[in-house]
Structure 1
Amino acid sequence: MNSKTISVSDEAREHDRLFHTSFSMVKEARARNVKVRPHRAITPLKVTPWLLTQAVVLPLLLCGLLLWTKPLLLEFWRNCILFWSAGLNLPFGLSTRLNEAGQYALVLSNVSEDALMPGTTTLIVTTVVTLLGFMLSLRMRDAALPLKYPLRIVCVVQLITLGYFWLTPSAFPYSVARHSEELMTIGYVVMLATPVMLAVGYYILNQGLLVKLFHTALILAFLAIMVPHQVLAQAFIMQHLSVLFMPVLYICFGAVFDALVFVALYSWAVSKAPMDATM
């Protein structure tokens, strides 16, 4: 009995020795032949003087260009809004007086602002739908969890707005035209900040200068085309529903939305960088 026990124990030790020997050989072979480089997100970045110069000079040049072309850009946005508003039955027009920037701002022609105020039915239906949406956010689990907090934020903002309109239904101080002008201002500020934000995380990458300028131009062009259509979409919602939804559109789908769009475009541009961009 003892001899059998000793024999089994020796076999087990021999099995362990062979396993560890084989594992060590595989580990050594992997160390010799497989070169695993850390992800560039955690790789120390080597910023050369040339890259540092790009990070300083490019934002200055691009921001200067955007400041110089601001009147042309705003005029393009207003003309784009006027062009599409005719087909969307949005009564946009241009004021007959110059604004502080020396341009003709957008106005709503032939529409009373009182006509866009929410009625009792709209307030009741919106309150019910908002409360249902908030209750739904409390039950979100697993795959739906990422939508939980954005939905809750939208519902909270809308509930606060509903409380304002229930208590002071005739004291809302903002118009759709003013809202549209402010959306364009926000969009322009995001465009102006784009070269600065790219300087921090993109221009310092070891990549061709022309590629960086090309991606920057695409990002700015996307924002330039998006902003007037963003204005149209929000004006369309308020024109056919009411200004009850202006705060949630402004807070959740104004500056925050523009920033998220920039993050998505920035991520796309960085994903195109070569693997050795941080070397």
Structure 2
Amino acid sequence: MSAKPLPDEASAGAPPDKRRVRGHQPKRVIGYRGDRILMHRAMRRLAFPLSRWVDVLGIPLALTIGYCAIWPMVAALWQRIIGFWNVALEGQVRLAAVKALVPGFGSIPYPHSDAALPTSVQWLVGMIVTLVLLFGTRFISGRALPLAYWLRFIGVVQASAQFYFFIWPASFPYDGGGSIGSLMQASVVVVLITPWLYALIYNVLDFGFVRKLVLSVMGMAYLTVFIPFQYTLASVVLLKGSMLWYPQIFLLWAVFLQFGMLVGFYAWAMSWKARGAKNAT
């Protein structure tokens, strides 16, 4: 009884296109159920025609120039919004101005409040809030667990502020008015880089010129309206709660929050169907 030939020996007499070469097996394209295994989108090459450079460079450049041109109207809008809250809050938050970091922008209006260092009562209230954020969230579970993690992170940031103001309260280098002015300066820069950010992560895709333009305009317009309300509220928080809450505002509720909103707009825009996917099955 003859022994069965080895696999390599059995394929030796087969045609060249039928032979299996060890280490060079053909790629598997059929799944175990018989369906075709499609290439993952992360491994596909992005089609980038030369005309798309208009979307990547032309849209952000035009919007940046346009925003610089309408900046006097934006500054006037911010003055009216802050002025309204100045009257509504009976002068507790005043309208002030700081020199812009962007050349040619002149000054930036911002809400000014006379926030002070925390008193012993304010520090104690902050400590209670911190303990609730750190240990009270242990009762949050299930689908709300990501919320618990976020609240604990807020608690960790506030715990560091509580420790600092307990040990070195007099050495805190910032004041309520000037700090908000600096944050407003940074926020203007965020508005200006918004179309360039979308140009790098969205305009390179095939969503059409109009959709790319709408996304950038939408993000810039939203931030333009949101910023004066955001920092007016921050000024009130610092006025009522003291500078104890400034690290919280600076790290989580200023520019970080603005970028979070831009990411939200981007996620929504990514749900729009690309032009090449309109007729896809």
TM over 0.5: yes
| 2:160 corresponds to 1:156 | no
Q: Which runs of 5+ in 2 are unaligned?
A: 1-32
* SS of structure 1 residue aligned to 2:228: helix
Contact 2:133–2:154 (8 Å) recurs in 1: no
**RMSD after superposition:** 3.1
Tell me the TM-score normalised to structure 1 length.
Answer: 0.73
Contact 1:219–1:265 (8 Å) recurs in 2: yes
Q: Which runs of 5+ in 1 are unaligned?
A: 1-26
Contact 2:137–2:151 (8 Å) recurs in 1: yes
Q: Give the AA of the match of 1:152.
A: R
* Structure 1 counterpart of 2:65: 64
Q: 1:199 to 1:99 in 2, by over 3 A?
A: closer
* SS of structure 2 residue aligned to 1:47: coil
- How many aligned residue pairs are there? 242
Cα distance, 1:38 vs structure 2:
7.9
Identical aligned residues as a percent = 25
Contact 1:207–1:277 (8 Å) recurs in 2: no
Q: 1:232 to 1:42 in 2, by over 3 A?
A: farther
Tell me the TM-score normalised to structure 2 length.
Answer: 0.73
The CA deviation string for residues 170-217 of structure 1, in whole angstroms up to 9 with x for no partner, is 333322222221222222122122111111222123233233222321
The CA deviation string for residues 219-249 of structure 1, in whole angstroms up to 9 with x for no partner, is 2111100111101111121222222111101
The 5-angstrom pairing of residues 1-279 of structure 1 reads 44-70=45-71, 72-89=73-90, 90-94=92-96, 99=99, 102-103=106-107, 106=110, 108=112, 113=115, 116-137=116-137, 140-274=140-274, 276=276
Cα distance, 1:71 vs structure 2:
5.3
Distance 2:180 2:76 in 1: 13
* Structure 2 counterpart of 1:15: none
Contact 2:52–2:204 (8 Å) recurs in 1: yes
Q: Give the AA of the match of 2:107.
A: Q
Distance 2:53 2:41 in 1: 18
Indicate the structure with greater helix content.
Answer: 1
Distance 1:112 1:178 in 2: 10
Higher RCO (C-alpha 8 Å, min separation 6) = 1
